Structure 1
Amino acid sequence: MPTDTVRSSTRPVTGWVLALGLFLGSLGLLAAVPAALLAGASPALAAPEQIELVDGAGVIHEPTLREGLADVDFHEPTTVIVWTQRGEATSNLNERLLSDARQNHPEWISDDGQKWADGLFIYAIDPQGRLQGVYFGEDRKVGLSTQEDIQEDAVDSLREADWTQAALDATQSAATVMNRPWYQHPGLWVGGIIVVVMGGIFGGAVAAGRKKQQQKAQADLDRGNRAFANVSTDLEATELNANTVPEDSRYGAQVLERYRTFHERYLVAARENDRLSGVPAKKLHAKEHRQAITAYRETTEELDQLDDTVASTNTLLNKYPGWPEAWDLQTAPMREDLGQIDGLVSGQSKLMAAQLAPLRSFQPEAERELERLGAGLQTGDLSPDDALDGLAALRARLTELLDQFSTAQINSFAKTDAERSTLEQEMQRERNRASRRPGSILDTVHQPGWFWTATAYHIGFSSGQSSVVHTREQAASASSGSTTGYGSSGGSFSGAGSSSSF
C-alpha cells in the first residue's frame, strides 16, 4: 500500500483522538472547580445532635437505632426524632403526628405554632396502617420530590417489617440532602461536565447502597448473635429438659421431633458465629455475607424459641413446680387475640353486623372456656394433653371466624377482582409470617399460618387496604400520592413534611 494512502487514512483518526482528548481535558478542568470546593470548602459533618424515640407502636429496637444513627453524618447538627403509632391506612399520619406534638411535645413546634422547630428531622411510621412520613424544621426543609425520594429509600425495609432499619434508611437519606452546600447539589453538574456528574452520582449511589446493605447486615448479625448467646447460655438446661419430656404425650412427642435436629443446627450456628465474627464490617454488604447472615439470624432465633418451648413443655406435661406459669405461656396468644377482637369489629358498617356477630359472641365464650381448661388442669380432671387440645380447638375456631370475616370484609371494600386479589395476598402473607410466641407448644408443633392471629389479620388487611387506596389514588390522579396537609385539626400549620403508604 502506498505511503501517502496510509497517511491520508490515519490523519482523520488522529485528529478525532486529539479532539476527544481536548474535550475530556476540558471536562476535567470544568470539574476541578466544584471538586476543589468539595475538597476544601465543605463544612465538617456532624453526628445527630440529639436522638428522641417516641415508639407508641412498640416496633423499634432502640439500641440498634441509636448505634446506627451515631454513624449518620449531617451537614449541620440535627435532632432526629423517630415516632411510631398504630392507626388506619385511611387516616392522615401528618395530622396524627401534629396532634401528638401539640399535646405531648410542644418543643417540636416553632414558637409561632405554624412550623416544625428549627434543627429537627422527624421520621414517622404507622406499621399497622402501612404509612410513613418525613418532617423538617424550617431550616432543614427540602422539596416535595426530595421528600418522596427519602421515603422511597425506606420502602424496602418497611415492606420487610424491619422498622428500625427503615428509620435508619430514611434518616441516612435525609442527612445527605438537608442543608446540602450549593456546590454539592446535583443541579450544579450540567452541560459540559455531565459525564463527570454521572460518574459521581453513580459512585455515590453505589456507596450509599453499600452502606445501607452493610447497616442491615450488621443489624441482622447483632440479632443473630443475641439469639445465639441466649441459646448457648441455656444449652445444658435445654438438654436436661428434653431428656424428661414424656414421649407418650401427643404434644411431647411432637416437640421432641422438632428438637431432634436441635444439636446439629446449634453446631452449624456456632461455626457460623465464629466465621461471621471474622468478616470485617466494611465487607458485610457483600451478597454472600448478607445471605449467610440472614440464614444465621433465622436459625438462631428459631433455636432460641425452640429451647423456650422445650422448657415449658417439660414443665407443663410433667406438672413440675411452676406449671401454672407454663400454662399461662400457652394461653397468652389466645388471650392476646381475644383482646384484639374489639379493635377488629369497631368502626365497621351496620351492613356487616351479621358477619361481626360470631366474632362478638366468640369472645366471652372463649374466655369462659379458657377458665374451664385452667381449672381442669388444676384439679386434675384434665390432662395437659387434653387441655392443649381444648386450647388448639379455640385457636382453630378463631381462625375459622377470621377466615369468614375476611371474605365479608374484602368483598365490602374491594371494587374489582384485582383489588380483591391484593387484599387476599396481603392478608395471607401476614398470616404466614406471624411470629411464633416463645414457649408456645401449639405454635411450635404447627406450621406458620396454621392459626390466624387477630394481630396478623389486622396488619394484613390494613396493608392490603393501603395498597388498594394507593392504587386508586394513582389511577385518579397523576400525582405521587404523597399527603402534605395536616387535616382539619391542623389549622394554619404549614410545617414542611409529607407522608405516603408503603
Structure 2
Amino acid sequence: MVLPTAPEVPVSDLIVRWGGLRAVAALTVKTLLIVVLAVFVPLYALDPFGATHTPAVQIHDEADVLDDDALQTALEDIGFRHDIRLAILTTDDVDPYASSDTVFNDAVLDYALEHEPSWISTADPDVWADGLVILAVSPHGRWVGCYFGEDVKVDLRTQQQIQDAAKGSFRLARWDVGLETMAQRTADSLGRPIASTEVALLVAFASLAAAIALLSWMFRSRRVARDAFRQARRHFGQITTDYDATQIRAGTIPADDAHGAQVLARFAWFEERYAGLVRLFSDFGSPRGAQWFVGSRRRRAQKLETSAAELDRVDDVIAAASTFLTLGPGWEKVWENEQGPVHEDLASYSALCASVAAITQRRRVSFDVEPDRAWIRSRSDRLAAMTVELALRTLTPAAALDELDTIAADVRHRCDALARRALAADTSRLGRDRLARYEYDRRSSAYRGGGLDYQGWWKSRSGRVHYNPATTIRINSQSPGLRAPGLRPAGAHATGAGAVPQFSRPVSGLVTGYSKAATYTPSSSGGGGFSGSGSSSHFSGGHSGGGGSFHGSGSSSRF
C-alpha cells in the first residue's frame, strides 16, 4: 500500500505567503547581516582556522638543557598560519650579573653572526631574515627573548606576552615545556588579522553584541508593529460602532457656546479624519510573514494607532460634552473629570506655598503664605458648591465651564505672583540674583508650561484622585483634535461664542521654576582645569651588537 504524499508547495506560493518578494528579500538581507556579525566577523577577528603549516624547526641547545628530539617533535606538531622557520636557542654566553636590557639581545645577535648567518636578512643585514622566529633562553642568566623577521614581526606588547607565557615553567627549570609554550603563543599571534588578543576579543564581542542588538530590534519592531496595529483596529472598531451615536450626540451640543463651538469644530475635524483613517487602514492591508519585519511597517502601524486613538478620544470628548452640556444621565462623572486639571493646579499652588514657607523660614525672611492658602481653600469649596448648583440647575453647564477657566487663569496668575514676591522678599544681592534668574527663565517656554502635561491625578485628603485629561471638554495640552480648523493657537482666550477657551497647561512648571531659582547658588569664580601627563611608548628592538646598527624586531626580559 502506497501512502499519499503531501503536495509540494511552489516556491512562489511560499514567497507570497511570507509577504511578497520585497519583504522576503529585505528579511533575508537582515538575516545575512546578522549571520555575518554573529559568526564571520568574530571568526575573522579570532581566526581559529588556517594554522596548518608545520614549522621548520632548528634547535641550538648550547646550554645542554633540552631533550632535542622530543622538543623537535612537539614543536613540529604546532600549526602556524604560514610557513615559519622556528629557531630555538639556549645559551649561557651572557653575563648573569649584567643589568642592561640589551645584553641578551646582543648575545643572540652575536651567536647568529658567528654560527647562523642565515638568520640575518640578505636584503638588509640590519634585520632578521624573513619568515624567521627565534625563541631564546639563558638558563643561568635567567633571560628569555623572542625575535622576528620583518614579515612576521609583532608588536612589543605581544612579544612580552610570548615571553611571559614561559616564565612560570622556566622558573621551575622546565625548559622544554617553557619553549613549547612560547612557540604555541607565537603561533596563536602570527598571521592573525588582529594581532592583539585583547583587541580581537573586543572586536568579536562587539560584533556579536551588534548581531544580538539587530536581532532584538527586528523582533521588537515586529512586536511593536503588531501591537500597534491591534490597538489601532480596537480603536477603529470602537469608533465605527459608535459613529452613528456620535453624530446624534454632536447634534445636541449647543453651537452658540464657546465650549460647545470648539467641541463641534473638533467634531468636524473628526469626520474629515475618519474618512482618511478608513483609507489608511485600506492602504495598510493585512500584513503577514516577513512584512512585519520591515521597519516602515512599524512606523506606519504606529501612525495608524496614533490617528485611531486620537479619533477615539475625540469621540469620547463629544460624548462627554453632549452629556454635560445637556446635563444628561451621567453628567456627574463628566463634571468630576472636568474639574481634574483645576484640582491639579490648585494642588501645585499648595505645593508652592509649602516650598515658599520652608525656604523663607530657613533663610529667616519674613513672609506670609496664609492668604494664598486661604484662597486655595476657598476655590476648593467653590468647586464643591458648583457641583451642588449644577444638580439644582441654578448653575448652567456653560457657566460652570467658564468659571473653571477663570479659576485656572487665577491660579496661574497667583502662582507667578507668589513666586515673585517670595524671591523679592530676600533683599540681599543673592536674593536679587535669584529673582532675576526666575524672571529670565519665566520668559522661556519651559516656565510658561511648554513641554509639560497634566499628570491625570491630584491629591485629596482621602488620597489620589485620578481623571483623564484627554477627555475633558475644556482644552488642555493632551486634548485630541487640537489641529482642527477654527481652533485658536495655544494661549488664546475666550472672547465670545465660538472662540476657544484658554489653552491651558499645568502650573507645575512655575513651581519648578521657583524652586530652581530659590535654591540657585553661583559657582565659585576660581577656575580649574584638568591637567595630567601621559606617557608614550615606541617599539624598539635594536641591539648594540653587529656594529650598533642592527635593528631587527625582538626583545628580551628577565624571569
TM-score, normalisation: structure 1: 0.46
For the pair shown, the structure with the greater C-alpha radius of gyration is: 2
